Amino acid sequence: MGHTYTSTLFHVVFSSKERRSAIAEPAKLWAYVAGVARNLHYEPLAIGGTENHVHILVRLLADASVSEAVQKLKSNSSRWLRKAAPWPGWQEGYGAFSVSASNVDVVRRYIQNQAEHHQSRSFEEEFLALLLKSGVTFSRAEVFD
């Protein structure tokens, strides 16, 4: 086979330090993050969240690692946020969950409806549910330290 074909779709989630409500204008941040992703040749399919966290559905290039992509998105968005207002920074870690092509629309709707989801569930509850649903091994005591 002369070509490489990949489908590298990820649902990435990360929060502000200590999950502080520090994102003053979420819609502007989502647009900025989408632009950064496109400049890096990633394909942002959905971006959303609330004042304390971000969800990104992204298609990565075959040679891009998830950790590299998240590091670049977090560092660029942090620099941008610091220009507008005091910014505590992003929490050190993140969650990245593989998404099958058949579930893109479901994940996109989930990301676009974050405000609605968080009327009945905190970010912490949501993140733990994502870990459980994805079969990630974790220690509850260490997730949010």
- The pLDDT value recorded for residue 2 is 74
Decide: helix, strand or coil at residue 45.
strand
The domain 9-143 is classified under which CATH number: 2.40.50.140, 3.30.70.1290, 3.90.550.10, 3.40.50.1820? 3.30.70.1290
Q: Which positions of the chain have pLDDT values less than 50? A: none
- The pLDDT value recorded for residue 47 is 98
Do residues 48 and 55 lie in contact, with contact meaning Cβ atoms separated by under 8 Å? yes
Q: What confidence tens digit (pLDDT) does each residue in 68-78 have? A: 999 999 999 99
Q: Cα angle at 70 between 66 and 73, to 5 degrees?
A: 140
- The pLDDT value recorded for residue 89 is 96
Q: What confidence tens digit (pLDDT) does each residue in 100-114 have? A: 999 999 999 999 999
- The pLDDT value recorded for residue 4 is 84
